[in-house]
Amino acid sequence: MASYSFSSSYGGDHSDHASFQLTRHAAIRVQQRGVQREVLDCLLTYGHHEPDHKGCNVVTFDSRAIEDLSRFESRSIHTKASHARKLYAVIDSDGVVITTGHRFRRVPRDLSLSSLRPGRSSSHQML
């Protein structure tokens, strides 16, 4: 598997020098979807990591991530990241970015297998 890396350094204590690996697929998706590298770097540095229960993590911006980003990064980076709040990245267990994109639907938070059993609906039933 070929991987591409990029490194960036901005002002601030939190991200003096961050370097992330991208697969070839991720590098193509970053370009196709107009994802700015500095915003992707901030997503991977400050974003919320949520397991996808398939061995990878989905990284998204949440309120805490945007708040941390505003404390450690420049105003222009904060503005760009705020406009890209629906950006996500999928990373594997080694921290390599597999793909990126923009969410159009909510991220499902309950991916437990118990919620997928037959006869279980997503609505609450009244007894």
Instruction: Kindly list the domain boundaries of the chain, sorted by start residue.
Output: 21-103
Distance of CA 13 to the CA centre of its chain: 21
Long-range contacts of 114-123 (CB under 8 A, 24+ apart): none
C-alpha 89/C-alpha 101 separation (Å) is: 7
Report, as an integer, the average pLDDT of 92-116: 76
Task: Quote the pLDDT of residue 12.
Answer: 38
**Which residue, among 65, 49, 34, has the nearest Cα to 97 in the 3D structure?**
49
What is the total residue count of the chain? 127
pLDDT of the residue at 3: 45
Q: CA triplet 54, 99, 41: central angle to 5 degrees?
A: 115
Tokens of 95: 């921290």
